């Protein structure tokens, strides 16, 4: 058994419900509660989970693990009761969603640990887990974090890589009985608005379909609010004029490149997938674009420190325009484009107008998209 693998997995999963919420504004009271819950999970719950999942020679049975999850759920609820006097109704609703997201992520840790489970058994377990933990019961606040947690775990239970285009997830959801069908379908739609894999237009279409099917759904307020927040990301919308620093310390505005087609790469020196792409894909991609003066490769770092950004580029020089936004996921550009993970690629047309809010990574598909766009504006 690879103990370190499971250790890293559990730690990662237990912090996901807290890290997912970077894009959501919290009240001061909810921020304090979130911090205290994070500490409670790490200090009190993690040892229980670690003992059950990887200290034991074998994974617990499904029934044993569900019993453990119920015990953890009760402890988290008790933790909330101890602080709920400082929270208003909206904060408590968010705290409940946070608890449910944590429980969903815990189910994924079990499926990873229980290596002997077949795909069918994982799917059956996940449904049983949702029902017995009551995760979809009285679900009045299906927020972004919980939606994404549900979709990640559902993908895992069906042995489908998260984010990979497929039809099986939707087919599975449509085959469920109500009310599970409605809740999972709402989570699927809201997760698409988080992922933005098809851009604003796909999200808008999915929301309209959901509204037509469930016109009285309790999930509509959150869904419509999320969609409204994406309107600025419509194809053709003009992007706000962000300011960055370049390698000389000078201020650079996005509008300085409004006469160019911009392939925008959001990255950080600590991001493993970003660096891997730089090493394996970016060099050939840059070579193919040499001589195409209308196209600019713009690399915007969200490293917390300028020094980290500059040190990486000193040791690993690249072509293109290199700019610094800083602030990690709190950077204005990250919030504007609702970026939940990096690397993230976008294509902006001339006039700094959105063409692809979730563009292909460097490679043939991205090259062909840029060439097609360039031909279309000639």
Percent of the chain with pLDDT over 90: 74
Cβ contact 226:287 at 8 Å:
no
Q: Pick from 346, 252, 244: which is nearest to 302 by CA?
A: 244
* The pLDDT of residue 38 is above 90: no
pLDDT in tens, 328-360: 999 999 999 999 889 999 999 999 999 999 999
DSSP per-residue string spanning 237-296: PBPP--EEEETTS-EEEGGGGTTSEEEEEEE-TT-HHHHHHHHHTHHHHHHHTTT-TTEE
* The pLDDT of residue 278 is above 90: yes
pLDDT in tens, 120-174: 999 999 999 999 999 999 999 999 989 999 999 999 999 999 877 789 999 999 9
pLDDT of residue 28: 87
- Kindly give, in sequence order, each residue whose CB lies less than 8 Å from that of residue 34, ignoring residues fewer than 6 positions away: 18, 21, 26, 98
Strand partners for 322: 299
Question: pLDDT-based confidence at 198, cuts 50/70/90?
Answer: confident
Report the alpha-carbon distance of residue 243 to residue 266 in Å, rounded: 14
pLDDT of residue 50: 85
Tell me the two tokens of residue 52: 């059950």
DSSP per-residue string spanning 192-236: HHHH-TTHHHHHHHHHHHHHHH-TT-TTHHHHHHHHHHTGGGSTT
Report the alpha-carbon distance of residue 329 to residue 76 in Å, rounded: 27
pLDDT in tens, 311-323: 999 999 999 999 9
Question: pLDDT-based confidence at 25, cuts 50/70/90?
Answer: low
Report the alpha-carbon distance of residue 157 to residue 23 in Å, rounded: 27
Tell me the two tokens of residue 324: 């610094």
pLDDT of residue 20: 45
pLDDT of residue 207: 97
Rg (CA), the chain: 22
Give the 3-state secondary structure percentages of the chain, helix then strand then coil, rounded to 5. Answer: 60, 10, 30
pLDDT of residue 3: 45
pLDDT of residue 266: 98
Length of the chain: 378
Which has the minimum average pLDDT: 22-31, 178-187, 295-304? 22-31
**What's the pTM?**
0.86
Q: Is 351 left (phi over 0), alpha (psi -120 to 50) or beta?
A: left
- Kindly give, in sequence order, each residue whose CB lies less than 8 Å from that of residue 178, ignoring residues fewer than 6 positions away: none
Report the alpha-carbon distance of residue 105 to residue 128 in Å, rounded: 15
How many other C-beta atoms lie within 10 A of the C-beta of residue 49? 24
Question: pLDDT-based confidence at 23, cuts 50/70/90?
Answer: very low
How many other C-beta atoms lie within 10 A of the C-beta of residue 33? 24
């Amino acid at each position: 058994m690879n103990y370190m693998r499971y250790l890293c997995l559990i730690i990662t999963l237990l912090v996901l419900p807290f890290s997912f919420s970077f894009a959501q504004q919290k009240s001061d009271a909810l921020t304090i509660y979130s911090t205290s819950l994070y500490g409670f999970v790490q200090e009190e719950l993690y040892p229980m989970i670690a003992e059950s999942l990887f200290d034991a020679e074998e994974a617990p049975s499904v029934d044993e693990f569900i019993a453990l999850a119920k015990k953890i759920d009760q402890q988290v609820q008790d933790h909330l009761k101890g602080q709920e006097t400082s929270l208003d109704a909206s904060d408590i609703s968010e705290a409940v969603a946070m608890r449910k997201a944590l429980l969903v992520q815990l189910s994924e840790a079990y499926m990873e640990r229980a290596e002997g489970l077949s795909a069918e058994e994982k799917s059956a377990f996940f449904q049983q887990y949702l029902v017995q933990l009551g995760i979809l019961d009285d679900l009045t606040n299906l927020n972004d974090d919980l939606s994404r947690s549900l979709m990640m775990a559902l993908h895992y239970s069906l042995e489908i890589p998260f984010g990979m285009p497929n039809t099986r997830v939707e087919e599975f959801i449509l085959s469920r009985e109500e009310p599970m069908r409605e809740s999972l379908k709402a989570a699927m739609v809201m997760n698409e608005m988080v992922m933005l894999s098809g851009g604003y237009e796909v999200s808008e279409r999915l929301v309209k379909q959901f509204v037509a099917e469930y016109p009285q759904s309790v999930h509509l307020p959150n869904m419509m609010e999320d969609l409204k927040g994406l309107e600025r990301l419509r194809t053709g919308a003009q992007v706000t004029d962000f300011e960055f620093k370049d390698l000389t310390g000078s201020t650079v505005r996005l509008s300085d490149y409004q006469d160019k087609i911009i392939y925008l790469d959001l990255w950080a020196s600590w991001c493993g997938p970003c660096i891997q792409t730089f090493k394996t894909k970016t060099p050939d991609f840059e070579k193919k674009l040499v001589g195409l003066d209308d196209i600019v490769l713009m690399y915007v770092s969200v490293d917390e420190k300028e020094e980290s950004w500059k040190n990486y580029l000193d040791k690993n020089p690249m072509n293109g325009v290199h700019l610094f936004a800083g602030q990690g996921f709190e950077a204005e550009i990250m919030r504007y484009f609702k970026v939940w993970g990096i690397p993230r690629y976008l294509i902006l047309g001339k006039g700094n107008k959105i063409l692809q809010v979730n563009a292909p990574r460097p490679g043939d598909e991205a090259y062909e998209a840029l060439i097609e766009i360039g031909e279309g504006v000639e």
